[in-house]
Amino acid sequence: MGPGNDTLISEFLLLGFSEEPALQPLIFGLFLSMYLITVFGNLLIILAVSSDSHLHTPMYFFLSNLSLVDICFTSTTVPKMLWNIQIQSRVITYEGCIIQMYFFLLFGGLDDLLLAVMAYDRYVAICHPLHYMVIMNSRLCGLLLLVSWIMNVLNSLVQTLIVLQLPFCTDFEIPHYFCELNQMVQLACSDTFLNNMVMYFVSVLLAGGPLAGIIYSYSKIVSSIRAIPSAQGKYKAFSICASHLSAVSLFYVTVLGVYLSSAATHSSHSSAAASVLYTVVTPMLNPFIYSLRNKDIKRALRRFYGMAGTKGAIILK
């Protein structure tokens, strides 16, 4: 229990999407399918990158880390919801809610920063191709990843510690399918000015900052592509960053759409349904975005399947 809590809280109630019993099997099946596709698809990306030495480059190093973060991001919320539907309960313990909120902030922020780091990687690859391997060396790649982790660990820790100081009175119902930070703050029965200021500051710093970096990187990329004389050269340069641009667009459009729609409708249930777009759908679609038009990933996956098939045949013999 947080030291600042006047009320001994043992649990919250996650109201989810619908209280209709007839809809619960449908919701369970839908989210279980999306979760399995997310985990399986992102695992394939990680296995393909790790098993093919040709993909041991900065671009695929960050992609494999993004896939790992996507798995963790979805696993923070969906399994608990599926378990509650299975046992016909809406309860989550106070400790479980705090832990879920911490890891949701951590992996959600990592997703954002990794997309910005990958945009910088694409900027160097297209705007400074001759110096790419010198600039994007293993030390810089490791440092960028480490800084991303440190920033988000500290942010999640600060936000969680502030929530731990909030007293909760009588309303323990969270109109969401997971313990979302804003919903938790709204349930508090004390002044939440500090919490709101921290949330707004972090939103500007850890969401607006990476977005500004992505926009700057792509403005330079577009200028470089326009300067390429041949149409074939322009197409090749654009294809290098097409998958990442698609993933960035999907992530930010869904996130902005969720928060703008929730601000307009003031409906918590609508916000919960809309948040599925960036918490579940986006991590599920990322493996398809990065593999469908990527010949290197396709080749690595075919090689991985071939190796698995050969090992299976040897074991059977």
As a three-state string, the secondary structure of 9-65 is CCEEEECCCCCCHHHHHHHHHHHHHHHHHHHHHHHHHHHHHHHCHHHCCHHHHHHHH
Name the pLDDT band for 270 (thresholds 50, 70, 90): low
Residue 261: partners with Cβ closer than 8 Å, 6 or more residues away: 270, 271, 274
For residue 311, what pLDDT is reported? 54
Q: Is the pLDDT of residue 5 over 80?
A: no
What digits encode the pLDDT tens for the residues 87-108? 888 899 999 999 999 999 999 9
Please give the average per-residue pLDDT across 54-66, as a whole number.
92
Name the pLDDT band for 73 (thresholds 50, 70, 90): very high
Please give the average per-residue pLDDT across 282-303, as a whole number.
82
> What are the beta bridge partners of residue 92?
12
For residue 212, what pLDDT is reported? 92
Q: Is the pLDDT of residue 317 over 70?
A: no
Higher pLDDT among residues 188 and 284, named by residue: 284
Higher pLDDT among residues 251 and 67, named by residue: 67
Name the pLDDT band for 238 (thresholds 50, 70, 90): confident
What digits encode the pLDDT tens for the residues 217-234? 999 999 988 888 888 878
Residue for token pair 């393909």: 48
> What are the beta bridge partners of residue 265?
none
Which residue, 173, 170, 123, 130, is CA-closest to 144? 123
Which residue, 134, 106, 139, 114, is CA-closest to 60? 114
Q: How is the chain split into domains, by residue range? A: 11-316
User: Which of 27-36, 121-130, 292-301 has the weakest average pLDDT?
Assistant: 292-301
Question: What CATH number labels 11-316?
Answer: 1.20.1070.10
Distance, CA of 245 to CA of 77 (rounded, Å): 26
Please give the average per-residue pLDDT across 151-158, as a whole number.
93
Please give the average per-residue pLDDT across 54-60, as a whole number.
89
Give the mean pLDDT of the chain: 84
